[in-house]
């Protein structure tokens, strides 16, 4: 009998009607002979509402009490889903993170899953009960509740699927993974399958279908994943399978174009080339829990100096500058805002040496200036002006033939 962990995101449980519809999808799967466990996010908008309430008292992400407040959103959704399943004639029971338990380490607001106990879920499923786990949360070693960061319910679902030996079905508001955002490029095509590595890069570069850490977790533990739409009737969603690279039947040069708005560029100027300048810079940012991307090091204007440039999310800019000014006294730090990142991702890039040249050419023909370029084995990203994102996405999507690609 096939085991499935079905995860429903915020839009999929955003109203009582949506919760009832999601419960119907679960009931249909059970009727087909599948054994289901369910993981839910908070109802759409609820996490932001609770964060705003915590903010009224001067608390924000990274505060332990904020974690307690935010976890209430998933608690409510899990209980309502269990009630909706009971309304459908199924036995169901909700579980909070500490009841599973889901073990975490790391700071409040950005904890990592360190382990999960499966016995409570196994016992419930053996009795024909559908367990409903409140996602996004777990318990730290000191007994305090912790949340997993934005998109953390995807990670909860992947972890539960791993300990249950189940497939992980991620239900969202789109019918699978597309070659780019259909709201920007109507010619975007749904992919039947995509590799873990490609999906991980797309998620990391701004695609919002899946949380990157959940894909990384699934890859490491060989958890099969699917992305499906909860807005269609049972059996109608064709979805996208996320599989090992070796299982991709058709090798594409580029599988998708992703983007992330609201980026900023920071330049640290005048470092000593033979010193620990670069490592000190990134240690300061790491200690401040600030992620960096698109790193460039170059000779400075002054003799025997180097400059370091990198991008950060705009929301982290002020904290990054403050941390660097304190940690690197005497160096000049400048920044630029109003930027965005656009990326092309594909396993076929491994065999292509001309992608950077063609990307520059495509964007140049569209009148778009590339400020910083960064590459990896299966990804190339460009930092551009925010207001050029849509033109860049459409131009790259067409240039790499994604609008003509069959499913």
For the chain, the domains span 3-246, 257-402
Burial of 66 (0-12, 13-18, 19+ CB in 10 A): buried
Domains 3-246 and 257-402 share a fold: no
CATH for the stretch 3-246: 3.40.1160.10
Burial profile 95-107: b = 16 or more Cβ within 10 angstroms, e = fewer: bbbbebebbbebb
Looking at 3.60.140.10, 3.30.2130.10, 3.40.50.410, 3.40.50.720, the CATH number of the domain 257-402 comes to 3.30.2130.10
- Within 8 A by CB and 6+ apart from 288, the residues are 319, 320, 323
Number of DSSP helices (H) and strands (E) in the chain, helices first: 11, 18
**pTM to 2 decimal places:** 0.87
Task: Assess contact for 225 and 218: CB atoms under 8 A.
Answer: yes
How many Å apart are CA 133 and CA 126, to the nearest integer? 16
Closest by alpha carbon to 185, among 406, 395, 405?
395
Distance CA 241, CA 193 (A): 5
Taking only the tens of pLDDT, the chain with its 407 residues reads: 799 999 999 999 999 999 999 999 999 999 999 999 999 999 999 999 999 999 999 998 889 999 999 999 999 999 999 999 999 999 999 999 999 999 999 999 999 999 999 999 999 999 999 999 999 999 999 999 999 988 899 999 999 999 999 999 999 999 999 999 999 999 999 999 999 989 988 888 878 788 888 999 999 999 999 999 999 999 899 999 998 877 665 667 889 999 999 999 999 998 887 778 899 999 999 999 898 988 988 887 777 788 999 999 999 999 999 999 999 998 999 999 999 999 999 887 776 667 777 888 899 999 999 988 888 888 899 999 999 999 999 999 999 889 876 55
> Which region, left, alpha or beta, applies to residue 206 given φ > 0 means left and ψ of -120 to 50 means alpha?
left
DSSP state, residue 29? H
CA geometry: angle 361, 365, 368, nearest 5 deg: 90
Burial class, 150, CB count within 10 angstroms (exposed 0-12 / middle 13-18 / buried 19+): middle
């Amino acid at each position: 009998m096939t085991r499935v962990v079905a995860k429903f995101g915020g839009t999929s449980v955003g109203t009582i009607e949506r919760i009832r519809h999601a419960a119907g999808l679960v009931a249909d799967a059970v009727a087909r002979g599948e054994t289901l466990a369910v993981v839910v996010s908070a109802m759409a908008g609820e996490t932001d509402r609770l964060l705003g309430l915590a903010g009224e008292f001067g608390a924000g992400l990274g505060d332990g009490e904020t974690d307690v407040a935010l976890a209430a959103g998933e608690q409510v959704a899990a209980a309502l889903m269990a009630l909706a399943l009971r309304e459908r004639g199924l036995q169901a029971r909700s579980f909070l993170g500490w009841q599973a338990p889901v073990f975490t380490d790391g700071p409040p607001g950005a904890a990592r899953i360190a382990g999960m106990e499966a016995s409570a879920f196994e016992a419930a499923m053996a009795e024909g009960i559908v367990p409903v786990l409140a996602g996004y949360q777990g318990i730290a070693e000191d007994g305090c509740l912790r949340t997993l960061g934005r998109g953390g319910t995807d990670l909860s679902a992947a972890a539960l699927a791993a300990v249950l030996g189940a497939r992980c079905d991620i239900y969202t508001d789109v019918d699978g993974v597309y070659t780019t955002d259909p709201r920007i490029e109507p010619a975007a095509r749904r992919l039947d399958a995509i590799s873990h590595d490609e999906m991980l890069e797309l998620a990391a570069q701004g695609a919002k279908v899946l949380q990157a850490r959940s894909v990384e977790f699934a890859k490491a533990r060989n958890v099969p994943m699917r992305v499906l739409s909860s807005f269609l009737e049972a059996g109608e969603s064709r979805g996208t399978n996320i599989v090992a690279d070796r299982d991709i039947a058709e090798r594409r040069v580029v599988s998708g174009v992703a983007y992330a708005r609201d980026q900023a560029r920071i330049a640290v100027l005048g470092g000593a080339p033979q010193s620990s300048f670069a490592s000190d810079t990134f240690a300061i940012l790491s200690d401040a829990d600030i992620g960096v991307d698109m790193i460039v090091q170059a000779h400075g204007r002054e003799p025997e100096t180097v400059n370091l440039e990198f991008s950060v999310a705009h929301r982290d800019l002020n904290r990054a500058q403050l941390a660097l000014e304190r940690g690197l006294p005497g160096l000049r730090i400048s920044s630029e805002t109003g930027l965005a990142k656009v990326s092309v991702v594909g396993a076929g890039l491994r065999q292509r040496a001309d992608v950077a040249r063609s990307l520059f050419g495509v964007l140049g023909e569209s009148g778009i200036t590339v400020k910083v370029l960064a590459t990896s084995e299966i990804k190339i990203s460009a930092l551009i002006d925010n207001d050029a994102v849509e033109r860049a996405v459409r131009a790259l999507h067409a240039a790499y033939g994604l609008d003509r690609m069959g499913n």
